[in-house]
Amino acid sequence: MIVACWNAAWHSSRSWQGKAISQRILASGAEIVCIPECQGELLEGEWHVARSETNYGYPIVPGRSKVTLWSRNGWRDIERTASRGMPGGRFVAATTATSLGAVRVIGVCVPWYAAHVSTGRRDRRPWEDHIAYLKALAPPSASSLPLIMLGDFNQAVPNRRAPAEAVSLLETALADLTVHTSGVVSGLSRPSVCHIASTRPFVAAKTIGIAAETERGPLSDHDGLIVEFDLRVPA
């Protein structure tokens, strides 16, 4: 099972950047895709979509979603709020069928450190919304289904730049998962702030990055991530 994640920086399928991102994702053969900052129907073909709530605190633009999940199969049990106190419009969870069985998928877009500081509502201090989001993003509850959590966490893993509280809260949220995109992923020259993590019995057979930089210019301000999952065989 191949899973992809790429923050598209609001590029639509009509832009050359959006077309290139779409082509690279489709070429990976992904069954599940998370696209933070998605504008419209970025992926072509027979996909099923689960989106976060429209209102994420900034002016609403038709067709924009802070988090969009795409699956080759249908979604069920869709949730758009993790818990009270989480900044809105940045979370979606749903269940889908895959080649490795049913999977619960959580898509996130953690606010960047300056969310609503000098833009938007301008009523926040640096890291305030980021920390509030992570406080509400509790460790996933026990489930009979394996879990994949992915999206834009706006922190590298490991992280030496963010405030200690933000680092600790992210570690807590990911405590029961394996982060397959920590450090510098193969194919990239820098740590990613987007991530793909999972619970058992999933293991990463391969993890690769797709650099956003091209000869024509950057496709996004984030690099793409691809993880090929397999099942851990009991000893």
Domain boundaries, given as residue ranges, for the chain: 2-231
Q: How far is CA 16 from CA 8, 141, 186, 214, in A?
A: 12, 40, 25, 12
The encoded tokens of residue 147 equal 């879990």
Q: For residue 234, what pLDDT is reported?
A: 56
- Rounded CA separation 55/53 (Å): 6
Question: Omega before 201 cis (within 30°)?
Answer: yes
Query: How confident is the prediction along the chain (235 residues), in pLDDT tens digits per residue?
Result: 999 999 999 999 999 999 999 999 999 999 999 999 999 999 988 899 999 999 999 999 999 999 999 999 999 999 998 878 899 999 999 999 999 999 999 999 999 999 999 999 999 999 999 999 999 998 777 678 999 999 999 999 999 889 999 999 999 999 999 999 999 999 999 999 999 999 989 999 999 999 999 999 999 999 999 999 999 765 4
Decide if 71 contacts 47 (C-beta within 8 A).
yes
What is the pLDDT at residue 179?
Answer: 98
Instruction: Report the pLDDT value the prediction gives residue 84, as an integer from 0 to 100.
Output: 80
Which residue, chain included where needed, has tokens 């966490």?
A: 153
pTM: 0.96
CATH architecture of the domain with residue range 2-231: 4-Layer Sandwich (3.60)
Q: In whole angstroms, what is the distance from residue 13 CA to residue 25 CA?
A: 13
